Amino acid sequence: MPRNVFADKHIVLGVTGSIATYKAVALASALVQSGAHVDVIMTESATKMVQPLSFQAITHRPVLTDMFSLMAETDIGHVTLGKTADALLIAPATANTIAKLALGLADNLLTTTALAATCPIIVAPAMETNMWRHPATQANIATLRERGVRIVEPEAGYLASGASGVGRLAAPERILTALRRTLTPQDWAGRRVVVTAGGTREAIDPVRFISNHSSGAMGYAVAEAALDRGAHVTLISTARHIPTPEGATLIPVESARDMREAVLNAIQDADALFMAAAVADYRPADVAAQKIKKSDDDLVLRLVRNPDILADVKQVRPARLVVVGWAAETDHLIENARQKLERKGLDLIIANPVPQSFGDGRVQATLISRHGEPRPLEPMPKDALAHLILDAVHTLVQQRNQTG
């Protein structure tokens, strides 16, 4: 998880009596492994689905089921739980519990804790399709949303009844993403950012293309981090193999010319552009209409220059736009990166030594701005680097918006 926002956080996990109750065990495990302190509250019906011992073995804390025994045996009453927690996550949440939450009922430890809670509440429903679509359930969901409860909507798929439809508990990754974003300071809220990712593909014929080693992982890490911090994100990407971060607006592209058009359109109402994509400098002059057949002769390709996207951005950028670029270099890293920053009018450039700039592992980077000395960083995962880049850009965006 970026910056491990779960570390040392107190999470109350509410578990209700759904056929998906067993999936909450995996959620508890993921949170504990991320360093969170997890208190599990189970409704009576949830204990019929999964034994409390399953959660206790993972969290190493007593599982809470009865309000009166809790008050008698410990100093952690329902009010204390709701006040000391950093977040209350209810997953899975049945239609019955959702209705109780909407009405403000407090007839068990979970609903009483929710009513007394001063922390953020996240609800992940799970139920049959008709129950989910019922007007009463939808009205209750709307009521909870109006009160600031974050809803992780159920997914479509195979249900316990044997039918298929919407109602499956959201995947653990989606639930944890919602919780992570709830716990992350929203310092980019209301900002609009554009992120490019992946290596462009320049066609040779219908089945072959010229590209590079860029995986797209850095761009996706920046997009995910910006979403976590509240930004509206437009992701312009060639990387089809990476799942789109939830909440991002994806614009799929292939070539440098495709990316140029998408970028120039997207930046008009943006606050920041993160040009993390590895854009091909050249493309074949002629693209064969049919697959080129192998022969005994050498194949010679004539290449022509692609448009320089950052140079074009420089000509049309809105006054408020902060532009961030990347430089992957084999030699003279700082010198070449600084020249690119000046030549293309960038506000910040991330300099990476090749081959460390490619792949999904740890990456070494140096941040270079228009003013000040280069800032070399220790090798780190790309998601951690993405947050450091956002930190550096945040002040620039604020300054640009104040003066613009």
Residue 291 assigned to a binding site: yes
Residue 308 assigned to a binding site: yes
Instruction: Tell me which amino acid residue 359 is.
Output: G
Residue 307 assigned to a binding site: yes
> How many Cα atoms within 13 Å fall on the side-chain side of residue 295?
7
Residue 310 assigned to a binding site: yes
Residue 376 assigned to a binding site: no
Residues of 315-354 as b/e, b for ≥16 C-beta within 10 angstroms? Answer: eebeebbbbbbbbbbeeebeebbbebbeebebbbbbbbbe
Is residue 212 part of the annotated active site? The answer reads yes
Residues 6+ apart with CB under 8 A from 403: none
Residue 344 assigned to a binding site: yes
Tokens of 176: 């944890």
Residue 281 assigned to a binding site: yes
Determine the Cα–Cα distance for residues 156 and 140; give it in Å rounded to an integer.
20
Catalytic residue among 4, 96, 212, 336: 212
Determine the Cα–Cα distance for residues 387 and 398; give it in Å rounded to an integer.
16
Q: Give catalytic residues, as residue numbers.
A: 212
Report the binding-site residues for CTP.
281, 291, 307-310, 340, 344
Report the binding-site residues.
281, 291, 307-310, 340, 344
